[in-house]
Amino acid sequence: MPTRESMEQNRLLRPVAHRVLAPELWRFTRRSVPRGVALGMVTGILFPVAQIAFSAVLALPTRANIPVAAAMTFITNPFTTPFLWVAAYWVGNQILHFDAQVPGSPIATQVAANSDWLHWLFAVAGPATIVGLFIITLTLAVLGYAAAALGWRWWIVRKWRRRGHARPK
């Protein structure tokens, strides 16, 4: 694990080291942790490569916790990504109604006229998957933020209750 000093001396990080190594981005607080969870989910789902790097860079302006954001990118991995993309296609298809046969619908007519799989990929599957990914990303980010905020609150309340019971009166 790199130390803070080694990261400060890294020639690639030196111009932004003061910003990246700011203590508030590495401290676990009630505001930075839920932001990190939401940011990690967004970058983990929407960015297919370099997810940790994107989450670290985007944590700077959002003041999210960098380690939590980086850890949450692992929501997508070789086991979960296929299920995520199938779910995204299904959600996008439900929203865009590509399978609806409406008289005079130009999309349904084009898909029925041309059964080439590349056409299907770019005209139906691509847009449906992209719309589905954005909807799933937004939903999971909001739920992750809420769960982290409620989990943090639950942890603090439990901690204070234990402290109250431990004191002699």
Indicate the pTM of the whole model: 0.72
Residue for token pair 């979960």: 80
Cα separation, 51 vs 133, whole angstroms:
15
pLDDT tens digit at each of 169 positions of the chain: 456 666 677 777 677 766 777 767 777 888 888 999 999 999 988 888 888 888 888 888 888 888 888 888 888 888 888 898 889 988 888 888 766 555 555 555 555 555 566 666 666 677 888 889 999 999 999 999 999 999 988 988 888 888 877 666 5
Residue 94 lies in domain: 4-166
CA-CA-CA-CA torsion sign (129, 135, 141, 144):
negative
**Count of the separate structural domains present in the chain:** 1
